[in-house]
Amino acid sequence: MKRLVVALSLGALLVAGILTSALLGQLPVQPSEVWGGFLRAIGLANPWQPEDPVIQSALQFVRFPRIVMAIVVGAALAAAGAVMQAIFGNPLAEPGVVGVSSGAALGAATAIVLGLAAVGDFAIALFAFTGGLLATLLVYFVSRANGRTEVVTLLLTGIAVNAFAGAGLAFALFAASTASREQIIFWQLGSLNGALWNEVLVVLVVAVAGVVASVVLGRRYDLLALGERNARHLGLDVERLRLLSIVIVALLTGVAVAFVGIVAFVGLVVPHVMRMLLGPQHRALIVFSAFGGAVLMLAADLLARTIVPGAELPIGMLTSLVGGPFFFFLLWRQRRRSGGWA
């Protein structure tokens, strides 16, 4: 019953977010024009389609791809956070906190400075994926001690990786041309502005594949939650599962960062809230986290576009304003439960 209530609530919020995002913006649009514009965009003539071609173009090539991009990026980041928390066995784990987001951004910046942006978006996405994967592997292996993951070491390693990636981004800005410098700044701030359908398609394919793979591994995450020793006794190859999961996390986070920039804390806040509502069963947790991430990204993007008239705020700033205090709350609660930081 609780799952049904949460599912209906998320569905209603998602639909409301889509409609509101399509309606609001610099160009006023009527609800009937949104519906008609959608039908026209998929090739169906209808009596509700906008008479003004400017409105039709704005809906089809600006707002609709931006809405879909927000949905798939939010779902990818939230699912990656749920997987990260499952393999590390800690609710404080999140792609941005442990450095994978900044590592992916550094990879993307490197591709831009090397001029690979001219090759295509796939080159940037590949470098972003590689950077995120290397950052995650580094944090994983450094934080392992005596067969388990040390929480404090995980956080400290994440801080170090973020600092190193920040220095790398600063050097990339120094070495880049003016045009490349603007692209790199875009990654650092995070924005859905200028989303294109070909980019949306890339993120959509990767996000769907990553979320489906995570759901398939959900039962194994449930076994891992019993403890590494118990999981091994039940026949689970723990290290293989963790390495595979790290690749999935890096893929989901890397492709999102490659096209919209650094968006922090979505993978921390959403899975934790879903776990409090639904419990620790990972298949449901990953699916509901994906939908929750989509809702959160839609809301953040809507605020970024409308909270300041005539301007657009960085979406990463808005998610950090929510996620930062929430992260401190988790740290405080973790300390109260354990009686210390270890």
Residue that is written with structure tokens 């749920």 in the block: 82
Domain count, the chain: 1
**Is there a domain that residue 36 lies in?**
no
Looking at per-residue pLDDT, the higher value among 299 and 2 belongs to: 299
Give pLDDT, residue 285. Answer: 92
12 versus 115: the higher-pLDDT residue is 12
Which residue's entry shows tokens 């090739």? Answer: 43
Measured between alpha carbons, how far is 36 from 50 in angstroms, rounded to an integer? 7
CATH number at residue 103: 1.10.3470.10
CB 153 within 8 A of CB 143: yes
Structural domain includes residue 105: yes
Residue 274 lies in a domain: yes
Q: Please give the residue range of the domain that contains residue 264.
A: 62-338
* 23-37, 250-264, 318-332: which is most confident: 250-264
Tell me whether residue 1 is in a domain: no
Q: What is the pLDDT of residue 148?
A: 62
Q: For residues 318 and 139, what is the distance between their CA atoms, to the nearest angstrom?
A: 26
Distance CA 57, CA 64 (A): 10
Mean pLDDT of 51-68: 80
**18 is a domain residue:** no
φ and ψ at residue 148, rounded to 5 degrees: -140, 165
182 lies in some domain: yes
Q: Is residue 43 part of a domain?
A: no
- Which range, of 163-167, 255-259, 293-297, averages the lowest pLDDT? 255-259
Q: Quickly state the pLDDT bin for 291 (edges 50, 70, 90).
A: very high
Say what the pLDDT of residue 335 is.
Answer: 66
In a domain, residue 173? The reply is yes
Q: What percent of the chain has pLDDT over 90?
A: 14
Which range among 163-167, 191-195, 221-225, 338-342 shows the weakest confidence by mean pLDDT?
338-342
